Amino acid sequence: MIASAVPLLFVVAAIVVLAATGNLFSASPVVIAAQVAAAVLNLWARRSFQPGAFRVSAAPGGSSIIRRGPYRFIRHPMYSAVLLFVWAGIAGHLSVLTLVIGVAVTAVAIARVVAEERLLMATFPDYLEYSRSTRALVPYVF
C-alpha cells in the first residue's frame, strides 16, 4: 500500500510546487480550458466506478474491468487528466523548472500505468482484449 501511494504523493507534491511557484495556473484561455477539461475528465472517470470500488492503491477495487464512461476510450483516464492538467500549466509557464517537473510527473505516471497494467492483466483474464481495443492514456494515439 505504501509503495502504491508514493507515486500519488509525488504527483501531489509536484502540483503543490507548481502552484506555490506560480507555475500551475494561467490567464491563458487555452490553459484554463485544458485544465477545466482535465478536471471534468477526472470527475467523469471517478464517477464511472461502482460505489465502494475506487481505491488510491493500484489494487483493483471491483470484480470486473470498468468499460463505461471515459474507460470506453482510455484505460487510465485519471492519469490522463493529471497529465493534461499539469502539462497545461507548464505550457503557460515554460521554464527549466517546469519542464523538469513535467517530465518527472510523466515518468511517474507512466511507471504507475505499467505497474497497474501488469496487475490488471494478472487479475482479469479479459484485460488483454480490453487493452487491445483502447489506448492507455490518449484516445486513438497512446
Q: Where are the domains of the chain?
A: 2-133
Residue 58 is which amino acid?
Answer: A
**What is the 8-class DSSP label of residue 56?**
S
Place of cell 501511494: 5
Joined together, the cell numbers standing for residue 81 give: 487528466
CA distance 92 to 72: 30
Q: What is the pLDDT of residues 84-136, one digit of tens each?
A: 999 999 999 999 999 999 999 999 999 999 999 999 999 999 999 999 999 99
pTM above 0.85, yes or no: yes
